[in-house]
Amino acid sequence: MSKGGSRLSEQTTCSAIISFADKLEDNSSRFYEKLAEKSAENKETFLAFAKESRKNKVLVTRTYQETITDALEACFIQINLSNYLAETTIKEDMSYLDALEMAIELEERASSFYFDVAEQSKSLLATIPRAFRKVAEKRNNRKLKLKSLTKNLM
């Protein structure tokens, strides 16, 4: 039973998780628009990432709003959001390679966040973990793509 008690103590509200996801996708979208300016060759790829982030935000928000009930137990998830914070500001003097490294770190944290939330929400309505897993996989695919772009530069 002590496990039950400690689990409750670490819980984050659903609202906080969705706000975090919203912000993550907003920041990611802005980040890739900025990154697109740094590479004519991969501009379309980065703009597609930015667009995808806007869609991710819609998907996550809609899933939450359509499935939330007033039942408190469904609204707490055991997660520490500070573990998933990532830098998304590209400085003017930053090299393209450094910006790519930053993007990989961002995707690493984002996909971990979504995979972890999907895992934590497994006992809820299937729509919820499915949506988080879908976004997690998209972000993981971005990471693979970014790694291949980095490799090509080296």
Partner 1 sequence: MTILEEPIKEVLALRNYIGDEWVESEGELVDVVNPTTCKVIAKVPISTRDEIDAAVEAAKKVFPEWRRTPPLARVRCLFRLKELMEEGFEELSRIQTMEHGKTIDESRGETRRGIENVEVATGIPSLMMGYNLEDIAVGIDEYMIRQPLGVFGIIGPFNFPFMVPLWFAPYAVATGNCIIVKPSSEDPISQVKIAELGEEAGFPPGVWNVVNGGRTVVSGMLDHPDIQGICFVGSTPVGRDVIYKRCGNTGKRVVAQTGAKNFLLVMPDANLERTIASCMTSFYGNTGQRCLSGANLIVVGENLNEREYNALYEKVVNAFVDAASKIRVGYGLDESVQMGPLRDKSKKLRVTGFIEKGIEEGAKLRLDGRNVKLVGDWPHTCFLSPSVFEDVTPNMTIGREEIFGPVASIMRARSLDEAIEIIHSNPYGNAASIFTSSGKWAREFQYRVQCGNIGINIGIVAPMAFFPFSGMKDSFFGTLHGQGREAIRFFTESKVIVQRWF
Beta bridge partners of 12: 77
Stretch that binds partner 1, among 5-13, 26-34, 42-50, 108-116 (CB under 8 A): 5-13
Least distance to partner 1 from the beta carbon of 87, Å?
20
Task: Based on the shown chain and the rule CB under 8 A, indicate whether residue 75 belongs to the binding site for partner 1.
Answer: yes
Angle, CA of 142, 144 and 147, to the nearest 5°: 110
Q: Rule CB under 8 A: choose which of 58, 72, 126, 144 binds partner 1.
A: 72
Taking the C-alpha atoms of residue 9 and residue 20, their distance in angstroms, rounded to an integer, is: 19
Residue with Cβ nearer partner 1 (66 or 87): 66
CB of 131 to partner 1, least distance (A): 16
Does position 71 interact with partner 1 (CB under 8 A)? The reply is: yes
Give me the sign of the Cα torsion angle 33, 39, 43, 49.
negative
Sequence-distant (≥ 6) Cβ neighbours of residue 121 within 8 angstroms: 77, 128, 129, 132
Q: Is 68 among the residues that bind partner 1 (CB under 8 A)?
A: yes
Neighbours of 50 (CB within 10 A): 19
Q: Which residues contact partner 1 (rule: CB under 8 A)?
A: 1-5, 7-9, 11-16, 19, 64-76
